[in-house]
Amino acid sequence: QKEVEQNSGPLSVPEGAIASLNCTYSDRGSQSFFWYRQYSGKSPELIMSIYSNGDKEDGRFTAQLNKASQYVSLLIRDSQPSDSATYLCAVNSGGYQKVTFGTGTKLQVIP
């Protein structure tokens, strides 16, 4: 079982819709959870972090964490073509030592 699993996509949504990206992780002791956005040919950029169960909102982005189900999600409201990118879920395990990344979900926002 992979430590961090994501559907590779592509996930296609129309402009203005809500994009929902999901991630599961295997280490129950994980404490910190992150979403990174990566445009083609560029390096990852941190867009959200979440540390406790529930929702965390930042502008059009909402991160959701359910530690009991070992599940993290990212919602993007009012999706724009500029949101088209690969979204990487990352989980901090091993006592905050390093972060493990999923393979990423490619999001395509159709104008």
> Which stretch, 11-19, 38-46, 53-61, 68-76, contacts other proteins (CB under 8 A)?
38-46
Residue 79 or 93 having the CB closest to other proteins: 93
- Told to check if 97 binds other proteins by CB under 8 A, we report yes
Among 18, 55, 37, 20, which Cα is nearest to 101's?
Answer: 37
- For 82, the 3-state DSSP assignment is helix
Among 84, 75, 88, 76, which Cα is nearest to 108's?
Answer: 84
Per-residue contact track with other proteins, 41 to 70, x per CB under 8 A? Answer: -xxxxx--x-x-------------------
Q: What residue type is assigned to position 74 of the chain?
A: L
- Told to check if 23 binds other proteins by CB under 8 A, we report no
Which residues lie closer than 8 Å to 93 by C-beta, 6 or more apart?
A: 3, 25, 27, 29, 30, 31, 100
CA atoms within a 13 Å half-sphere pointing along the CA-CB vector of 46: 9
Task: Work out how close the CB of 101 gets to other proteins at its nearest, in angstroms, rounded to a whole number.
Answer: 3
How many residues line the site for other proteins (CB under 8 A)?
25
Q: Which residues bind other proteins (CB under 8 A)?
A: 4, 8, 31-32, 34, 42-46, 49, 51, 88, 90, 92, 95-104
